[in-house]
Amino acid sequence: MLVLKFGGTSVGTADAVRRVERIVRDAGPGALAIVSAFSGVTNTLTRTLELMRRGDTAGAFAALDGVEARHRAMIAELGLSVPTARFTTETIDRVRGLIPALTALGDITPRAADTILATGETLSSRIVADHFAAQGLDAAHLDAREVIITDASFGAAQPDTALIEEAVREKLPPLFARHPAIVTGGYIGATPQGVTTTLGRGGSDYSAALLAAAAGADECQIWTDVDGIMTCDPRIIPAARTVPRLTYDEAAELAFFGAKVLHPLTIFPAVRKGVPVVIRNTFQPAHAGTRVIAHNGNDRRLKAIAFQRGITVLHIRSNRMLGAHGFLAAVFDVFRDHRTPVDLVTTSEVSISVTIDDTTRLDAITADLRRLGDIRVEEGRAIVSLIGDGMRETAGIGARFFSTLRTVNVGMVSVGASEVNISIVVADKDLERAVGLLHNEFFDGGAA
């Protein structure tokens, strides 16, 4: 059994939906297809909610008209029949019916918001299933709320893996007995009482991993619009290429540094169960993509260079740190109090340096930190990170790393506790040069 998840751009146009049908058909019997909302639809629904919150009933209706028109155009282009169009109108009409009262209340509860946000996947999954059927691919449509059972944390519901497993065991086999494929929507779930929830933005990958894990799928394929995870951002490094395999830890490090392809926490359920997660390109189906696995075996190769711009470094220097306990805790309390995540951290006997990328509370943070010591703030920095499992066991990588960068002014240096990365801070203006030098050294010459 295969799980194939198609993101918003993979179902964004009629041409894309036709591609999806061919991919699922080629996967053979036992294919569970999970689709996102058509690209942009969840954003429009979010905007609709925003308009409702502001009391703009007319604006909310207009935004919803746009959502309906988008789906009707898709249905027309795919040449689908009347029932699909009727289902679409009925689904949108139910949301329309909620608008006046909720807008008048002026208080859109997270529960109400989830019911509205779920519309995108409710519609896309039905339209895709109907297209499959029209093409002679006999696919069952499954309402995700029957299998993705969650708690009631609306907007970011926590899945109940035991209940999901139970539901999957009960619902999937009878469907697969009669149909080669099943289509369901990502992102949506329900409480055990049947109240609609959502897993949070981008949650369709999470749905895919949860269902792949629960069903013990052979593979969880994430179909998107790129060839997988790259050795570096191709907009900066044209020679960047797809990484064929990497471990979950490596993917996690990469994602932190803004590799937008996937959020590793969302695929964790599959990886933990030993289900490989493979990133594939709907628009280049012949490309093998990137395979994310739990463990690497003996593969010690370097995998990628990641970077993140817009970093601010705070250096905190205190004489009290010498021999004092509780200083680090006091420093981190400040960041916690201001709900600002800290990324890299380095310490010496009398100082600590941390990086943050969210500077909305910077003034308040520095004011609080001044009570603990001298503060120096460096803005316009970037983090560059070389990622590869087991790098510390490979003698000489550190030496090569720093000699490659000998003409670049390197700030903080951190070797990840997970032993899969070396990270440094450079000035933003040096970023592209540093990344280019490193990619050339570690990936161009075939060294990796």
Residues that bind Mg ion (CB under 5 A): 7-8, 202
CA dihedral 281, 285, 287, 291 (to 10 degrees): 60
Q: How far is the CB of 409 from ligand ASP (least distance, A)?
A: 39
Residue 71 tokens read as: 């789906």
Tell me which of Mg ion, ligand ASP, none is bound by residue 120, counting a contact when its beta carbon lies within the kind-specific cut-off of 5 to 8 angstroms. Answer: ligand ASP
3-class secondary-structure state, position 290: strand
Alpha-carbon torsion (153, 158, 161, 164), positive or negative: positive
- For ligand ASP, the binding residue among 9, 10, 36, 340 (CB under 6 A) is 36
Q: Considering only 150-158, 199-207, 245-253, 340-348, which stretch makes contact with ligand ASP by CB under 6 A?
A: 199-207
Tell me which of Mg ion, ligand ASP, none is bound by residue 264, counting a contact when its beta carbon lies within the kind-specific cut-off of 5 to 8 angstroms. Answer: none
Q: How far is the CB of 254 from ligand ASP (least distance, A)?
A: 19
Is 224 near ligand ASP (CB under 6 A)?
no
3-class secondary-structure state, position 80: coil
Task: Find, among 409, 401, 352, 337, the residue nearest to 380 by Cα.
Answer: 409
Q: At what angle do helices 204-215 and 264-272 cross, to 10 degrees?
A: 0
Is 150 near ligand ASP (CB under 6 A)?
no
Whole-angstrom Cα distance, residue 353 to residue 413?
A: 10
Tell me which of ligand ASP, Mg ion, none is bound by residue 203, counting a contact when its beta carbon lies within the kind-specific cut-off of 5 to 8 angstroms. Answer: ligand ASP
Is 122 near ligand ASP (CB under 6 A)?
no
- For ligand ASP, the binding residue among 12, 159, 189, 203 (CB under 6 A) is 203
Is 9 near ligand ASP (CB under 6 A)?
no
Q: Helix, strand, coil: what percent of the chain each, to 5?
A: 45, 20, 35
Task: Find, among 307, 308, 304, 208, the residue nearest to 247 by Cα.
Answer: 304
Exposed / middle / buried, residue 375 (Cβ in 10 Å: 0-12, 13-18, 19+)? middle
Smaller CB separation from ligand ASP, 120 or 289: 120
Is 187 near ligand ASP (CB under 6 A)?
yes
CB 267 within 8 A of CB 292: yes
Smaller CB separation from Mg ion, 281 or 423: 281
Residue 414 tokens read as: 């951190």
Tell me which of ligand ASP, Mg ion, none is bound by residue 184, counting a contact when its beta carbon lies within the kind-specific cut-off of 5 to 8 angstroms. Answer: none
Residue 254 tokens read as: 């990469």
Is 184 near ligand ASP (CB under 6 A)?
no
Smaller CB separation from ligand ASP, 118 or 372: 118
Tell me which of ligand ASP, Mg ion, none is bound by residue 12, counting a contact when its beta carbon lies within the kind-specific cut-off of 5 to 8 angstroms. Answer: none
Is 154 near ligand ASP (CB under 6 A)?
no
Q: How far is the CB of 185 from ligand ASP (least distance, A)?
A: 9
Q: How far is the CB of 202 from Mg ion (least distance, A)?
A: 5
Smaller CB separation from ligand ASP, 224 or 247: 224
Alpha-carbon torsion (397, 402, 403, 404), positive or negative: positive
Smaller CB separation from Mg ion, 202 or 285: 202
Q: How far is the CB of 187 from ligand ASP (least distance, A)?
A: 4
- For ligand ASP, the binding residue among 33, 37, 211, 391 (CB under 6 A) is 37
Q: How far is the CB of 31 from ligand ASP (least distance, A)?
A: 19
- For ligand ASP, the binding residue among 12, 120, 228, 388 (CB under 6 A) is 120
Residue with tokens 């510390």: 392
* H-assigned helices in 179-285: 204-215, 248-256, 264-272
Task: Find, among 89, 137, 140, 148, the residue nearest to 114 by Cα.
Answer: 148
User: Which run of H or E residues covers position 61?
Assistant: helix 57-77
Smaller CB separation from Mg ion, 10 or 423: 10
Residues binding ligand ASP: number (CB under 6 A): 12
CB 394 within 8 A of CB 347: no
Is 42 near ligand ASP (CB under 6 A)?
yes
Measured from the Cβ of residue 433, the count of other Cβ atoms closer than 10 Å reads 13
Q: Considering only 35-43, 66-74, 96-104, 269-277, which stretch makes contact with ligand ASP by CB under 6 A?
A: 35-43
Tell me which of ligand ASP, Mg ion, none is bound by residue 37, counting a contact when its beta carbon lies within the kind-specific cut-off of 5 to 8 angstroms. Answer: ligand ASP
Is 202 near ligand ASP (CB under 6 A)?
yes
| Residue-by-residue DSSP string for 369-424 | HHTTSEEEEEEEEEEEEEE-TTGGGSTTHHHHHHHHTTTS----EEE-TTSSEEEE
Q: How far is the CB of 19 from ligand ASP (least distance, A)?
A: 17
Gyration radius (Cα) of the chain, Å: 24
CB 220 within 8 A of CB 276: yes
Tell me which of ligand ASP, Mg ion, none is bound by residue 189, counting a contact when its beta carbon lies within the kind-specific cut-off of 5 to 8 angstroms. Answer: none
Q: Considering only 65-73, 198-206, 245-253, 365-373, which stretch makes contact with ligand ASP by CB under 6 A?
A: 198-206
Judged by the rule CB under 6 A, the positions of this chain that interact with ligand ASP are 7-8, 36-37, 42, 120, 186-187, 201-204
